[in-house]
Amino acid sequence: MSGIRRAAALAVAVGGGAFLGAAPATASVSPGYIVEHDVKGETTLAAPAATAPLTGKLYDKVDLMTGVHTYTLALDETKLSFRWNGDEPASARLQFATAGPETGPVGKPGVRMTLAVPDVAVGGASVGGGPDCATAPFSVAFTTAGSSASGPYHARFTLPPLTGCGKRTDEISAALTGPGNTMDLTVAN
C-alpha cells in the first residue's frame, strides 16, 4: 500500500470516515503514518508535594515528506492524594488533556495540555472542582537521558492558575498549581 493510501486509510480509521467526505477533490494527503504508544509513569505537583500515577497513549504522527513528528498525549484520569493546608487529607481528580499537538524532533515529544479538576475533596467532602474547573493551556516538553525510544521521558512544567472551580477556586488553585511540576513517562510498546 502506498504511503498516501496508508495515510488516507489511517485518517479514515482515526476520524471515523469523516476525512473522505470532508476533503475537497483537490486535497492532497502527505504520506505518513501514526504510531500509537502505551505510556505509564507519574506526575508530581509541587504545590501539594504529591505524586499521582499516569497511564495513557502517546501518538506520534510522522510526515514522511518532511520528517516532522507531531505528538499528541492522551492520559487517563488519575487521582492525586495530598494534604490540604498541610494537615487535612484531601484528594483531587485530575484530567490532563491535549490542547493541541506540537511538533518536535524524533524521541523528544512536546505537547500542549490543559488540566481539568472535576472534583476536590477534603476529609471526604467535596469542596469544589467541576466541569469548568481547568487551567489555560501549558507546554510540556519531554527530554530523555538515553537513546532508547521507550524513554524514560522527563518534563518540568508550570501549571497556570485554575478557574471555574466554585466558591473556593483561589484556594484550590493555590493548592494545586504553580511552577516546579514534573511528569515522568515510559513508553511500554
Q: Regarding beta strands 69-75 and 78-84, do their DSSP bridges make them parallel or antiparallel, or are they unpaired? A: unpaired
**Cell (9 digits) for 9:** 486509510
**Cell (9 digits) for 170:** 483561589
pLDDT of residue 95: 97
Q: Contact 57/35 with Cβ under 8 angstroms?
A: no
pLDDT digits (tens, 9 = 90+) for 156-184: 999 999 999 999 999 999 999 999 999 99
Tell me the percentage of the chain whose pLDDT exceeds 90.
52
Phi/psi at 176 (5° precision): -120, -25
pLDDT digits (tens, 9 = 90+) for 97-151: 988 766 665 556 678 899 999 999 999 999 999 999 999 999 988 888 766 666 7
Whether this prediction's pTM lies above 0.85 is answered by no
Average predicted confidence (pLDDT) for the chain: 80
In the block, which residue shows the cell 511500554? 188
Which is more confidently placed, 54 or 32?
A: 54
pLDDT digits (tens, 9 = 90+) for 59-70: 888 888 887 878
